Amino acid sequence: MNLFLTGTDTDVGKTYAAALLVRALRAQGVDAVGLKPLCCGGREDAEVLHAAGGGAIPLNDVNPVWLRAPAAPYAAAMIENREIDLALICETFARLRAAHAAVIVEGVGGWRVPITRDFFVSDLAAEFALPVAVVVANRLGALNHTLLTIESIRARGLECAGVILNHTTPPDAAPDFAATTNRGILEEISGIRILAEISYGQRELLPF
Q: What is the pLDDT of residue 109?
A: 94
Let me know the angle formed at the C-alpha of 65 by 72 and 48, rounded to the nearest 5 degrees: 90
In a domain, 117, yes or no: yes
In a domain, 140, yes or no: no
Q: Is the predicted pLDDT of residue 96 greater than 90, yes or no? A: yes
Q: Is the predicted pLDDT of residue 6 greater than 90, yes or no? A: yes
Quick check: is 36 catalytic? yes
Residue ranges making up the domain that contains 65: 2-135+153-170
| Number of compact structural domains in the chain | 1
Three-state DSSP at 200 gives: coil
Inter-CA distances, 45 with 31, 37, 142, 143, 186, Å: 20, 11, 23, 26, 28
What does pLDDT average to over the chain? 95
In a domain, 22, yes or no: yes
Distance CA 3, CA 25 (A): 12
In a domain, 204, yes or no: no
In a domain, 143, yes or no: no
Catalytic entry in 14, 26, 36, 50 = 36
Task: For the full predicted model, state whether its pTM sits above 0.85.
Answer: yes
Report residue 104's pLDDT band, with 50, 70 and 90 as the boundaries: very high
Distance CA 16, CA 202 (A): 9
Mean pLDDT in residue range 86-98: 98
Q: What is the pLDDT of residue 129?
A: 97
Per 3-state DSSP, the chain is made up of helix, strand and coil in percentages (nearest 5) of 40, 25, 35
pLDDT in tens, 124-153: 999 999 999 999 999 999 999 999 999 999
As beta bridge partners, residue 133 has 5, 162
Name the amino acid, one letter, at 120.
F
Three-state DSSP at 64 gives: coil
pLDDT in tens, 59-73: 999 999 999 999 999
Which CATH number characterizes residue 54's domain?
3.40.50.300
Mean pLDDT in residue range 155-182: 89
Inter-CA distances, 14 with 35, 110, 111, Å: 12, 10, 12
Q: Percent of the chain scored above 70 by pLDDT? A: 99
Going through 56-179 in order, the beta strands assigned E by DSSP cover 65-67, 102-110, 114-116, 119-120, 132-137, 160-166
In a domain, 144, yes or no: no
pLDDT in tens, 171-204: 777 778 888 999 999 999 888 999 999 999 898 8
Task: Decide if 169 contacts 176 (C-beta within 8 A).
Answer: yes
Q: What is the pLDDT of residue 189?
A: 87
In a domain, 207, yes or no: no
Residues in contact with 95: Cβ distance below 8 Å, sequence separation at least 6, in sequence order: 61
